[in-house]
Amino acid sequence: MLAFDFDDRELEQVADEFSATPKQVDLARGRSLKRTAGTLRRLSSAGLKTELGLRNASALRRRIKEYRVGKGSNSIKLWYGANDLPVSAFKGRPQEVAGGVKYGETMIHGAFFAKMGGKRRVMVRHGSKRWQIGEALMPVSDRMMIYLEDNVFVDVDSIFMKHFVSEIRARTILGVGNA
């Protein structure tokens, strides 16, 4: 879990610059946190799609959730589901080789092709019974976490401050939350 703390002195300097009320600062902080979470979600979805080599980002969008934490609007939690993804979510064409199926650089031992729902899928056996089969999965958690830490979360402070400044500016110009 990664936690980010923003410098209150910088927030106060921006608030003083625009002569914002404490209520406007609180409202702007909550809104800019929400906007920062949305920006991070969008950046990570687009970046992970290319990093992992996925066909589309729908498999990722289902795995990225944002939650409000606590009573106030001072913290947001982004959750990333890093479970293994099915082979059908990735770009490329699997090849049947001796001992299994090769998908890109990854060898899936004991895998085979089966037509399910009109689509040719890479399946593996989970037991000795007839219908104990499922789609083959490829691990993604390590590559996901490395990409997120190296490329997405490094700019959190600047993203938050950009949103905070624009929120404070808009709230003071338009007079939202004066009282």
Token pair, residue 157, equals: 């402070």
DSSP annotation of 54 reads: B
Gap between the Cα atoms of 136 and 116, Å rounded: 13
Which residues have C-beta within 8 Å of that of residue 125, sequence separation ≥ 6? 110, 132, 133
pLDDT at 35: 93
Q: Where are the beta strands (DSSP E) in the chain?
A: 64-68, 76-80, 85-86, 95-97, 100-103, 106-109, 112-116, 119-125, 133-135, 137-138
What string of DSSP letters covers 139-165? --HHHHHHHIIIIIGGGHHHHHHHHHH
pLDDT at 151: 93
Q: Are 24 and 177 in contact (CB under 8 A)?
A: yes
pLDDT at 1: 55
**Domain residue ranges in the chain:** 8-84+140-174, 87-138
DSSP annotation of 90 reads: B
Residue of 33, 40, 67 whose CA lies nearest to 161:
33
pLDDT at 72: 65
pLDDT in tens, the chain (179 residues): 566 777 788 889 999 999 899 889 988 998 999 999 999 999 999 999 999 999 998 888 888 988 877 766 678 888 999 999 999 899 989 999 999 999 888 899 999 999 988 889 999 998 888 888 999 999 999 999 999 999 999 989 899 999 999 999 999 988 877 76
Token pair, residue 105, equals: 């650089």
pLDDT at 106: 87
Secondary structure of the chain: what % helix, strand, coil (to 5)? 45, 25, 30
Which residues have C-beta within 8 Å of that of residue 16, sequence separation ≥ 6? none
